[in-house]
Amino acid sequence: MKRVANSLNAHAAAIAIRIHATKREIQVIDNGVGIPKNMLKHIAKYNAEVIDDQQQVCKLFESNNLADIRRLADRLTITSRHQHSEETFMKVLFIIAFEMGSSFNLKQVDQRPSCGTTVSIYGFHEMPHKKWDTSIICFFIAAIAVTKLEVSFSIRDDERKKVVLRIAKPHNSIEVLRTLVGKNLPLNHVWSIQCGPERNNNYHGYADLLPSHFEVD
79/40 Cα distance (integer angstroms): 9
Look at residue 45 in the predicted model and tell me its pLDDT: 66
The SS3 of residue 149 is: coil
Q: Return the CATH number of 2-165, one of 3.40.50.12160, 3.30.565.10, 3.20.20.70, 2.40.50.100.
A: 3.30.565.10
The SS3 of residue 95 is: strand
| Displacement of CA 128 from its chain's centroid (Å) | 16
Look at residue 184 in the predicted model and tell me its pLDDT: 74
The continuous run of DSSP H or E covering 57 comes out as: helix 54-63
Q: Kindly state the DSSP code that residue 110 receives in the 8-state scheme.
A: S
The SS3 of residue 169 is: coil
Look at residue 42 in the predicted model and tell me its pLDDT: 81
Tell me if the bond preceding 113 is cis, omega within 30° of 0.
no
> What pTM did the predictor assign?
0.78
Domain with CATH 3.30.565.10 in the chain: 2-165
Q: Which residues contact 195 (CB under 8 A, 6 or more apart)?
A: 201, 202, 203
Mean pLDDT by 10 residues, the chain (217 residues): 88 97 95 93 62 41 58 87 95 64 71 93 81 88 89 97 94 81 69 57 50 44
Sign, Cα dihedral of 122, 128, 129, 131? negative
Look at residue 94 in the predicted model and tell me its pLDDT: 77
